[in-house]
Amino acid sequence: MNHHHRKVLHGIFAHPLHHNLDPRQVESVLGELGAEMKHGGHGALLVKLNGQQGSFHLGTHSVPGEEVMRLRRFLTAAGIDPQRDYPI
């Protein structure tokens, strides 16, 4: 995972909530983490990672705040800890 991907991953877990995440970059980070992804209907992104499954609506210009929170919970449940596993 390169430095740019690490910064996006840390942005997902940032406090206060990061409201300017690019959906394409988030999708790229999920791919780097080894997630299986496919696009579902109505703009949904179906993601499988480390035994966890989720469906996210990442938007077109930036990821909505509620989806950032859902991504955080999903990645935490999948065992992803950016501070420990992917330091900047």
Alpha helix positions (H), the chain: 3-12, 23-32, 65-77, 82-85
**pLDDT of the residue at 41:** 83
Residue tagged 């430095």 (tokens): 3
pTM: 0.91
Cβ neighbour number for residue 76 with a 10 Å cutoff: 13
Tell me the domain boundaries of the chain.
Answer: 3-85
Tell me what the pLDDT averaged over the chain comes to: 93
Query: 85 is written with which tokens?
Result: 């596993």
Report, as an integer, the average pLDDT of 16-44. 92
pLDDT over 90 at 1, yes or no: no
Model confidence over 43-78: pLDDT tens digits?
Answer: 899 999 999 999 999 888 899 999 999 999 999 999
Q: What is the pLDDT of residue 88?
A: 86
